[in-house]
């Protein structure tokens, strides 16, 4: 079961405060810090819902291999409306979805893993008796949110199943922090940076040159979800011509049809991923998952005790 995450970055900023998605926390922007945390926790697909500053945010975030979804009515809609845009898209491929706004950027990967282990209708982290972020929705809970048409927020959308909500307790103050206390931010940032240390495993396939990697895999997944190479390129933040160049190279190197083109007619054209393309993508994703799990185990073994000062340096 794939796990998706929706990062809500569409709202207009309050003139008196609040963290901007592009505001730096340490060496990276708030939205990028959230992306890194989700990736560290093993989230498969991350969608950033943009609105104000959307184009600039997409340019600055393109290298993180995220999906960009735009809320064109961000000025007149609520945060829940942006959440629905992300949920509706990710439900095509994911069995559970995490939701968080960008003004709560310092929760840890440990909190995300705690939520993923909770296996409930919906889970909300609890720090010292207070509810925080991110929120984890099962497919069933996500469907309830999409069906909700009231004026309330996420908790109102789930209120009819209140008794089925889970509240795993965490020791992570970052699950609550909203950027309104500079002194606390410094402490949380130091803690967040300490736990953010992780190995990064990049998996590519090559013959004479690399022809398939995580970015191409995401492009193929987006074509699978949208039925359109043009839409997939927009959501990935790349040009239409670059997207086709990546797909044509893939077909050339594999020697199999990956994309099935249906030219436009009365009702317009569409594009499908071939059965061979789907099978190839699934095998790549399986390989990536196993390599990353092995990489984590090797990392833990190689650095056991090093960062807590308990390992003596051999001379």
CATH number for position 147:
3.90.550.10
Count Cβ atoms below 10 Å from residue 182 Cβ, excluding itself.
Answer: 7
Q: Is residue 93 part of a domain?
A: yes
Number of domains in the chain: 2
pLDDT, tens digit, for every residue of 12-46? 554 445 678 988 998 999 999 999 999 999 999 99
Q: Is residue 253 part of a domain?
A: yes
- Last residue of one domain, picked from the residues 169, 195, 221: 195
Q: In terms of domains, do 268 and 175 share one? A: no
Average predicted confidence (pLDDT) for the chain: 90
Q: Is residue 17 part of a domain?
A: yes
pLDDT for position 18: 64
Q: In terms of domains, do 80 and 185 share one? A: yes
User: Which stretches of the chain are DSSP H helices?
Assistant: 30-40, 54-61, 79-90, 109-118, 139-147, 154-157, 182-195, 214-226, 229-236, 240-254, 275-303
pLDDT, tens digit, for every residue of 101-122? 998 999 999 999 999 999 889 9
CA distance 311 to 315: 12
- Last residue of one domain, picked from the residues 166, 195, 224: 195
Q: In terms of domains, do 142 and 215 share one? A: no
- Last residue of one domain, picked from the residues 145, 176, 195: 195
Residue 60 domain boundaries: 3-195
Q: In terms of domains, do 180 and 216 share one? A: no
Q: In terms of domains, do 260 and 136 share one? A: no
Q: Is the pLDDT of residue 90 over 80?
A: yes
Task: Measure Cα distances from 14 to 71, 138, 208 in Å.
Answer: 18, 31, 52
pLDDT, tens digit, for every residue of 77-88? 889 999 999 999
């Amino acid at each position: 079961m794939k796990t998706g995450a929706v990062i809500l970055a569409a709202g207009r900023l309050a003139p008196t405060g609040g963290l901007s998605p592009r505001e730096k926390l340490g060496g990276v922007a708030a939205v990028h810090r959230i992306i890194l945390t989700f990736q560290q926790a093993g989230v498969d697909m991350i969608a950033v819902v943009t609105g104000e500053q959307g184009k600039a945010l997409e340019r600055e975030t393109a290298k993180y291999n995220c999906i960009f979804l735009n809320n064109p009515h961000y000025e007149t809609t609520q945060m829940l409306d942006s959440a629905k845009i992300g949920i509706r898209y990710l439900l095509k491929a994911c069995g559970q979805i995490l939701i968080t706004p960008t003004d709560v950027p310092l929760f840890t990967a440990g909190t995300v893993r705690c939520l993923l282990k909770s296996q409930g209708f919906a889970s909300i982290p609890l720090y010292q008796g207070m509810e925080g972020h991110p929120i984890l929705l099962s497919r069933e809970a996500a469907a309830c949110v999409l069906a909700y048409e009231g004026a309330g927020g996420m908790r109102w959308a789930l209120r009819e199943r209140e008794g089925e909500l889970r509240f795993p307790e965490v020791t992570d103050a970052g699950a609550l922090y909203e950027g309104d206390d500079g002194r606390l931010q410094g402490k949380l940032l130091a803690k967040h940076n300490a736990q953010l240390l992780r190995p990064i495993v990049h998996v590519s396939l090559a013959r004479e040159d690399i022809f398939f990697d995580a970015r191409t895999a995401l492009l193929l997944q987006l074509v699978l979800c949208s039925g359109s190479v043009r839409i997939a390129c927009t959501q990935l933040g790349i040009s239409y011509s670059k997207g086709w160049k990546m797909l044509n190279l893939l077909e050339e190197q594999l020697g199999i049809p990956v994309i099935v083109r249906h030219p436009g007619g009365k009702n317009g054209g569409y594009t499908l991923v071939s059965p061979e393309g789907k099978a190839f993508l699934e095998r790549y994703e399986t390989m990536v998952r196993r390599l990353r799990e092995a990489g984590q185990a090797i990392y833990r073994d190689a650095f056991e005790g090093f960062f807590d000062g308990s390992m003596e340096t051999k001379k």
